[in-house]
């Protein structure tokens, strides 16, 4: 398959959908009636809704039940005009943000010195932490060529942070258990290291790194340790009370100096809320921005954005309060049980190999047939799984959408069908060849290739 064919396949996936609804390439001359706009919105979303509501999508929508989302939407609508950039106008948002940070810090065993801020998502929390470590190390240690020790499985947001903020990533391999290789972490630390990163758990495999050992190494070298608990921060705290083993990963460990954690994943809030926590105020100050002489007046911000949606703060605050500890524990139990069931079922399929141990993610690969062929056949059955690469694999991040038993059964029977089809009639369409192609291309060409893919998705050429 050549580049044009791959781009053609991408176009085929998005264009028919876009063209099957009225198109607006300029402002309508006269406003469209609100009822008509809402009806169009419903139509636009209806087929998408069927995918995630029925549990066909890995991760992405963590709760999604109607009464729950309706409640958060009501909280949003009460506060949709508010903006945390103006704390004097909306002191209620100062209270709510402070309480979101405090509740999250308590959940992750923070102490009296723990400080934090609300951000727009895991990526922003990670970007801010990496900037804070860079600036802290420049000021305190005079480090001008900062480096970060990153396990292969760390979220791509860390690589993005390196790209944006001029940090060098020292990538370390994983062990056979798909957790960061602790010895390699030790060896990767240099006098320029500003922080070591570990995940609880990592996105690709759902595996929790050995945060205890890694944070001790960082502490011994006098560098920061960031635990990325974006995915696990709101669910793993319930594992031990429910009888599941999970290694320690939070502020219980004295070497952990910052944690990113996402209410908009297993915290079940609407999308657009994350929390970044630090073990002390000094680090937090390195992410603040204060304008000193701007003619527009006194200006400061706690995160990267200027204006921010106060409605999302209120919706997140309302969600945390309404679920409470008992609510989170109950939902965590359902997810742990479902993930266990799905993982056991996958592991029983011949030729399939699990990638790492996890409480919430089922990552697997195949000796034969090709795993991307299996993924493509699963997508023909309606599934949106996440493709993995280096090495090839696929994963399902289990959410509440998969907890009804018929969804698990459907997943496993579709997997049988997909394995059989992939074995007997490999396909040349869909995402399988894109993954294959990306792996075959030299690294520099991959960037250019995906710039074209992005253009085709959003601009059609
Ligand atoms: C472990 C981990 N870290 C960071 C992120 C980034 O979060 P976001 O997509 O909210 O920016 C994710 C997203 O899935 C994740 O799984």
- Kindly report, residue by residue over 190-207, the tens digit of the pLDDT: 999 999 999 999 999 999
Q: What count of residues does the chain have?
A: 461
Asked if pLDDT for residue 17 goes beyond 90, the answer is: no
Which residue's alpha carbon is nearest to atom 16 within ligand 1? 203
- CATH code 3.90.1150.10 region(s) in the chain: 324-440
Tell which residue, 2, 47, 1, 3, has the closest CA to residue 21: 47
Rounded to the nearest angstrom, the distance between the alpha carbon of 157 and the centre of ligand 1 is 7
Mutate to test the pocket of ligand 1, among 157, 178, 228 (most ligand atoms within 8 A of CB): 157
**pLDDT band at residue 47, thresholds of 50, 70 and 90?**
confident
Residues with C-beta less than 6 Å from any ligand 1 atom: 121-123, 155, 157, 199, 202-203, 228, 230-231, 262, 274
Residue 352, beta-bridge partner list: 366
**pLDDT band at residue 436, thresholds of 50, 70 and 90?**
low
> Any idea which architecture 324-440 has in CATH?
Alpha-Beta Complex (3.90)
**pLDDT band at residue 16, thresholds of 50, 70 and 90?**
confident
Q: Which residue has the tokens 């005009």?
A: 81
Residue 433: per-residue pLDDT: 63
Rounded to the nearest angstrom, the distance between the alpha carbon of 155 and the centre of ligand 1 is 7
Asked if pLDDT for residue 351 goes beyond 70, the answer is: yes
**pLDDT band at residue 2, thresholds of 50, 70 and 90?**
low
Residue 61: per-residue pLDDT: 97
Mutate to test the pocket of ligand 1, among 124, 130, 203, 388 (most ligand atoms within 8 A of CB): 203
Which residue's alpha carbon is nearest to atom 9 within ligand 1? 122
* Distance separating alpha carbons of residues 402 and 387, to the nearest angstrom: 18
CATH fold for the domain made of 77-320: 3.40.640
Cβ(161)–Cβ(126) under 8 Å? Answer: yes
Asked if pLDDT for residue 369 goes beyond 90, the answer is: yes
* Distance separating alpha carbons of residues 290 and 296, to the nearest angstrom: 13
Over residues 416-420, the mean pLDDT reads: 97
The whole-model pTM stands at 0.96
Rounded to the nearest angstrom, the distance between the alpha carbon of 264 and the centre of ligand 1 is 10
- Report the percentage of the chain scoring pLDDT > 70: 98
Q: Which residue has the tokens 């701007």?
A: 294
Rounded to the nearest angstrom, the distance between the alpha carbon of 105 and the centre of ligand 1 is 19
- CATH code 3.40.640.10 region(s) in the chain: 77-320
Rounded to the nearest angstrom, the distance between the alpha carbon of 263 and the centre of ligand 1 is 11
Asked if pLDDT for residue 209 goes beyond 80, the answer is: yes
The number of the ligand 1 atom at minimal distance from the alpha carbon of 120 is 10
* Distance separating alpha carbons of residues 269 and 69, to the nearest angstrom: 8
Mutate to test the pocket of ligand 1, among 262, 269, 359 (most ligand atoms within 8 A of CB): 262
- 121-171: pLDDT as tens digits: 999 999 999 999 999 999 999 999 999 999 999 999 999 999 999 999 999
The number of the ligand 1 atom at minimal distance from the alpha carbon of 202 is 1
Residue 348's Cα: distance from chain center in Å? 28
The number of the ligand 1 atom at minimal distance from the alpha carbon of 271 is 10
Residue 457: per-residue pLDDT: 82
Residue 391: per-residue pLDDT: 95
Residue 246: per-residue pLDDT: 96
Residue 445: per-residue pLDDT: 83
What is the pLDDT of the chain when averaged over all its residues? 94
**pLDDT band at residue 57, thresholds of 50, 70 and 90?**
very high
Asked if pLDDT for residue 117 goes beyond 80, the answer is: yes
Over residues 385-395, the mean pLDDT reads: 96
- 279-305: pLDDT as tens digits: 999 999 999 999 999 999 999 999 999
Residue 270: per-residue pLDDT: 98
Phi, psi (5° rounding) for residue 210?
-80, 80
What are the residues whose beta carbons fall under 8 Å from the beta carbon of 221, sequence distance 6 or more? 189, 193
* Distance separating alpha carbons of residues 62 and 51, to the nearest angstrom: 13
Beta-strand pair 224-229/258-261: parallel
Asked if pLDDT for residue 444 goes beyond 70, the answer is: yes
Rounded to the nearest angstrom, the distance between the alpha carbon of 424 and the centre of ligand 1 is 36
């Amino acid at each position: 398959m050549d580049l044009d064919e791959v781009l053609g396949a991408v176009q085929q996936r998005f264009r028919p959908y876009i063209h099957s609804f009225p198109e607006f390439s300029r402002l309508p001359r006269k406003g469209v009636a609100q009822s008509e706009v809402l009806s169009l919105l419903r139509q636009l979303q209806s087929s998408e809704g069927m995918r995630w509501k029925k549990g066909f999508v890995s991760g992405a929508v963590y709760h999604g039940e109607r009464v729950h989302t309706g409640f958060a939407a009501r909280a949003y609508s009460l506060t949709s005009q508010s903006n945390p950039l103006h704390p004097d106008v909306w002191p209620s948002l100062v209270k709510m943000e402070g309480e979101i940070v405090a509740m999250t810090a308590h959940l992750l065993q923070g102490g009296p010195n723990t400080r934090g801020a609300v951000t727009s998502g895991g990526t922003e929390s990670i970007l801010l932490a990496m900037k804070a470590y860079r600036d802290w190390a420049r000021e305190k240690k005079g480090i001008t060529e900062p480096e970060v020790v990153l396990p292969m499985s760390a979220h791509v947001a860390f690589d993005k942070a390196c790209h944006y903020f001029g940090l060098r990533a020292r990538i370390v391999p994983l062990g056979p258990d798909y957790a960061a290789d602790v010895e390699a972490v030790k060896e990767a630390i240099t006098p320029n290291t500003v922080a070591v990163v570990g995940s609880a758990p990592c996105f690709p495999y759902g595996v929790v790194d050995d945060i205890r050992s890694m944070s001790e190494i960082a502490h011994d070298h006098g560098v920061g340790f960031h635990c990325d608990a974006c995915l696990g921060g709101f669910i793993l705290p319930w594992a031990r009370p429910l009888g599941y083993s999970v290694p320690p990963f939070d502020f219980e460990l004295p070497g952990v100096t910052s944690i990113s954690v996402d209410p908009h994943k297993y915290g079940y809030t609407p999308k657009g809320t994350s929390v970044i926590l630090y073990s002390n105020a000094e680090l937090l100050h390195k992410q603040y921005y204060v304008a000193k002489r701007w003619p527009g007046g006194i200006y400061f911000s706690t995160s990267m954005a200027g204006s921010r949606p106060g409605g999302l703060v209120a919706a997140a605050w309302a969600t945390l309060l309404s679920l409470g500890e008992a609510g989170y524990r109950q939902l965590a139990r359902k997810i742990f049980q479902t993930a266990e069931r799905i993982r056991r079922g996958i592991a029983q399929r011949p030729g399939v190999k699990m990638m790492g141990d996890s409480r919430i993610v089922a990552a697997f690969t195949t000796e034969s047939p090709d795993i991307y062929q299996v993924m493509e056949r699963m997508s023909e059955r309606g599934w949106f799984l996440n493709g993995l690469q280096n090495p090839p694999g696929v994963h399902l991040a289990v959410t509440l959408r998969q907890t009804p038993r018929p969804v698990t059964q459907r997943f496993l029977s579709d997997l049988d069908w997909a394995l059989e089809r992939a074995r007997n009639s490999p396909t040349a369409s869909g995402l399988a060849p894109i993954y294959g192609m990306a792996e075959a291309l030299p690294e520099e060409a991959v960037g250019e290739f995906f710039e074209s893919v992005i253009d085709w998705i959003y601009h059609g050429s």
